[in-house]
Structure formats: C-alpha cells, structure tokens
Amino acid sequence: WLALTDFGGSVCLLDPASGEMRTLGHHKVQAVSAVFSPDGHYLFTGGWENELICWDMNGLQKSFSIPRNSYTMQFRSDGKECVLDDETSWQVFTFERPLPRRMFAEQLGGNVHHVAFSPQGRWLAAVGLNQLGVWDLNSSAPPAVTAEGADLRLVFSSQNDLYGCRDLGCNGWQILESSNHDNPPTLQKLALPQPTGFVSICANGSNGLVLSSKQGSTLFAPGHRQDQWVPTGSGLTSSSPDGQWMAIYPPYSKIV
C-alpha cells in the first residue's frame, strides 16, 4: 500500500499495482502526515488538530489515538523506538507491540467456542455455528472456510491434518499451503471411518488418532487394523503427548 492524506481529513490506502483505493478513516481536521512502522504492520497519520492516529494494517482499522500535541512521527530503523515533534522539542518513546498481533475479522456464524493450533504453530483453526476457518499464521492471507466443519470439536494430528467431530461423526482435512501468500490455504477432505455410535476423536502422539464410540476405542493409524476395538468408557477423549495414556470424560460427569 501507499498511504495518502488530504486536507479533507481523509486517510486512504492506494494499491500502486491495481490503482485500488480505500478509505481507512478520518482526522478531525486536515490530515497532513503519514508514516508506516518499519515492518509495515502499523500506519501513523497526523492531523492539524495535533493528534496522531495508529491504524492496524492487518485489520485495516483504527487502533488508538495519540493526543500529544504533535502531528509528526519518525521511527528508528528497527521499529523499537519512535519520536514525536511537538514544535518545541522531540519526545522519544518505545514502541511496544501488543501480544495479540493479529485480529481475525472473519465471521464464522457466532458462538466461536473451539480453537486449535497445529503442533508446530503454523495453522490456527476455529469453529462457529456456521463455518470452520483455518488461518496460516505465517501470512496475512484470509482463512480457508467450510460449512462442513461448523460446530465441531477440533484436533490436529502430529502430521498437521485437522479433524473435527460431533455426535453424528467426524471429518478430516489435509491443509494445503497456497503458492501465493495473499490467497487462503486449501482444505482437502480426508477419508475417515464412521463407527456406529461415534463419540469422540483425539490425537495419539505420533501414532495417529484414537476414535471412540459406544462400542469402545480404536487406533486409527497407518498399518493398524481398523477393526481392533478395545472396550472403554464412552465420552470425550484426550491423549498424553507421548501417546501412552488416554483419558475419557463422560459429558456432565464428575469422573474422568
């Protein structure tokens, strides 16, 4: 983006490749300065009302205002400090980035109740009432979304495949990275057994997945017989990181 300010108080972004223009917002009076943080994640604009505005370039929205009797800011080259000019002096500030560095504005249908990170932290998955969304945390691209994943309980395998379950069964997806970092990833459906009375699914270390149903539990892994069911309790499952232990929690019970 290029940042543009004008005497009408507007702050606009211009895509120099396509010529696309969009308005971020407005100052109270004339907008007269603009500077990006060195990493490009934030834009600061100043107006003749002697106020600076910080804009979040990931969410393309206003973050906060700086009423410091200044409309000019400069960054140190590493982005860790900045200075404000108030006409009589320069004021030096550290630039503290918030811990949550990204806002996810996509609507998944409300009641977003379950999220999961892939083992290496590359992928983030979240579900709402209407959709499943999967974000690539190494890029600012929009998420892959699918209605098939709505309202599921999520789990990643050690191979970064994503699985979701509910009482009626389970779904699985392989996540394919886009060759263009501006485009969302692709979700490729995986074939999974659908046992009668399915209840829950959990990752089992590096061995695969454990599927649980009213008839017991089975290990779903390469080279393992899928008809080997072991009698277990019925409920939500979780496995230890080394794959040695599994816990089962019957819903609304006080016993694990």
Q: What is the pLDDT of residue 225?
A: 67
Task: Give exposure, 56-74, as e/b (b: 16+ Cβ within 10 Å).
Answer: bbeeeebeeebebebbbbe
* 101: helix, strand or coil: coil
What is the arrangement of strands in the sheet containing 208-213, beginning at the earlier edge strand?
Answer: 198-204, 208-213, 216-220
Q: Please report, in angstroms and rounded to a whole number, the separation of the first and last CA atoms in the chain.
A: 53
Determine the average pLDDT of the residues in 226-239: 83
More confident residue, 193 or 244: 244
Give pLDDT tens digits for 197-232.
888 888 887 778 888 888 888 887 766 666 688 898
Q: pTM for the full model?
A: 0.60
* 149: helix, strand or coil: helix
Task: Give exposure, 124-147, as e/b (b: 16+ Cβ within 10 Å).
Answer: bbbbbeebbbbbbeeeebbbbbbe
pLDDT at 126 over 90: yes
Determine the average pLDDT of the residues in 119-143: 89
Q: What is the pLDDT of residue 127?
A: 92
Give pLDDT tens digits for 5-16.
999 999 999 999
pLDDT band at 81 (very low <50, low <70, confident <90, very high): very high
Within 8 A by CB and 6+ apart from 233, the residues are 248, 250
Give pLDDT tens digits for 45-60.
999 999 999 998 877 8
What is the arrangement of strands in the sheet containing 42-47, beginning at the earlier edge strand?
Answer: 31-36, 42-47, 51-56, 61-66
3-state secondary structure 113-136: CEEEECCCCCEEEEECCCCEEEEE
Q: What is the pLDDT of residue 223?
A: 62
